[in-house]
């Protein structure tokens, strides 16, 4: 059976900003995140990303600029890179089925790899990440990086019994033990 993990992007793989990450120059990896992805790849995992990117719809950056950010990620990871990146350019008020916490991006990942994500891990830093994981019957993991601390401070009931780690590197270390 193929091992697959789904990662949120901003706040999990790269540093996040309430002002949005608007260029490849602003796209800076969270310490240890690139190495964590590389370890997963060496261990034979498929690594997929599901990321809300409303900055496109807001006019803060273009799809071409987003592509440059993702190319920077792929270059840093090296090798075969991340296996799949799904993004949703929509705002919450657009009510797009692709935008987290809706499950469209996860369904796209299932179709791409012809597998079910049920029981698989999704690593995120927001309530939307946790909610979409539960909606797809996945195992959510919250990291404290990005908006993770703010998410924890919300004390939302959806967080009950959700595993919490310092960062993606800590998640991967625990997973590969």
Topology of the domain covering 4-175: Rossmann fold (3.40.50)
Residue corresponding to tokens 């916490």: 101
Task: Tell me 30's DSSP state.
Answer: P
The reply to whether 8 belongs to the active site is yes
- Reduced to 3 states (helix: H, G, I; strand: E, B; else coil), residue 26 is coil
The span from the CA of 88 to the CA of 157, in Å, is: 26
| Marked catalytic residue, from 8, 16, 125, 129 | 8
The span from the CA of 27 to the CA of 12, in Å, is: 12
- Tens of pLDDT, residue by residue, the chain (177 residues): 689 999 999 999 999 999 999 999 999 999 999 999 999 999 999 999 999 999 999 999 999 999 999 999 999 999 999 999 999 999 999 999 999 999 999 999 999 999 999 999 999 999 999 999 999 999 999 999 999 999 999 999 999 999 999 999 999 999 999
Name the phi and psi angles at 74, rounded to 5. -60, -40
The reply to whether 10 belongs to the active site is yes
Max Cα distance, the chain (Å): 43
| Marked catalytic residue, from 10, 16, 125, 129 | 10
């Amino acid at each position: 059976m193929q091992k697959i993990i789904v990662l949120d992007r901003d706040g999990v793989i790269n540093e996040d900003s309430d002002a949005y990450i608007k260029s490849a120059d602003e796209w800076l990896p969270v310490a240890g995140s690139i190495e964590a992805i590389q370890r997963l790849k060496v261990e034979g995992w498929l690594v997929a990303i599901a990321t809300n990117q409303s900055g496109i719809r807001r006019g803060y950056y273009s799809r071409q600029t987003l592509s440059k950010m993702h190319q920077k990620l792929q270059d840093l990871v090296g090798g075969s890179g991340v296996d799949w990146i799904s993004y949703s350019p929509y705002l919450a008020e657009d009510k797009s089925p692709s935008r987290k916490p809706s499950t469209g991006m996860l369904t796209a990942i299932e179709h791409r790899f012809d597998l079910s994500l049920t029981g698989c891990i999704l690593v995120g830093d927001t309530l939307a990440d946790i909610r979409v994981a539960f909606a797809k019957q996945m195992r959510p993991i919250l990291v404290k990086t990005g908006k993770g601390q703010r998410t924890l401070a919300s004390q939302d009931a959806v967080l009950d019994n959700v595993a919490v780690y310092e960062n993606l590197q800590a998640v991967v270390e625990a997973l590969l033990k």
